[in-house]
């Protein structure tokens, strides 16, 4: 089984995890989540490039740069989920299997959070399981990539 290379993107305000609305987002920090993801990736025979930005264009640049470098993307677009056609188009353009994750259940929150521009171009969406959403998303992405018969990984 070959080593997978995956891009993990965290969108705006996720750098404040552990401090920002802990009743909604939990007490774990972004570093805690990234540490857990790295451990899990090692068990799954995958390597991760992990990046967080509060800037839409910077996230788009990272998505575009992933072409020919990574086999898949795990993304929590944060608020850009509901607003960014640019991130959606970048994911579509690179055509890498992408899993969208959210700590909270966006479908149980404010109405404006119910719509995702990312979901239609993603393999799937996992939300509402706190930090476990990332773990579940990484498992799902790796499983999806290893199932693709035309792309040996």
Q: Summarize pLDDT for 103-135 with one digit per residue, the tens.
A: 988 777 768 677 899 999 999 999 999 999 999
Please report, rounded to a whole number, the percentage of residues in the chain having pLDDT higher than 70: 94
Q: Which residue has the tokens 């305000």?
A: 13
pTM: 0.91
Catalytic residue selected from 10, 25, 80, 134:
25
Q: From CA 60, how far away is CA 92, in angstroms rounded?
A: 11
- Given this model, what pLDDT does residue 105 score? 84
Catalytic residue among 10, 70, 80, 102: 102
Name 37's Cβ contacts closer than 8 Å, sequence gap at least 6: 8, 48, 50, 74, 134, 135, 138
Among 86, 79, 129, CA closest to 104:
129
Q: How confident is the model at residue 149 (pLDDT cuts 50, 70, 90)?
A: low
Task: Examine the residue annotation and report whether 107 is marked as an active-site residue of this protein.
Answer: no
Q: Is 102 among the residues known to form the active site?
A: yes
Mean pLDDT of 31-57: 98
Whose CA is closest to 16, among 103, 137, 74, 86?
A: 103
């Amino acid at each position: 089984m070959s080593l997978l290379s995956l891009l993990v993107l965290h969108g705006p305000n996720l750098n404040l995890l552990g401090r920002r609305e802990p009743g909604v987002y939990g007490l774990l920090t972004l570093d805690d989540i990234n540490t857990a993801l790295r451990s899990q990736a090692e068990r799954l025979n995958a390597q991760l490039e992990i990046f967080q930005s509060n800037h839409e264009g910077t996230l788009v640049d990272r998505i575009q740069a992933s072409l020919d470098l990574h086999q898949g993307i795990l993304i929590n677009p944060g608020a850009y989920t509901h607003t960014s056609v640019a991130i959606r188009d970048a994911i579509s353009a690179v055509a890498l299997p992408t899993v969208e994750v959210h700590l909270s259940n966006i479908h149980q929150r404010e109405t404006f959070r119910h719509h995702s521009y990312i979901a239609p171009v993603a393999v799937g969406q996992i939300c509402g399981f706190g930090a476990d959403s990332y773990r579940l998303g990484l498992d799902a992405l790796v499983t999806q990539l290893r199932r693709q018969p035309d792309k040996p990984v």
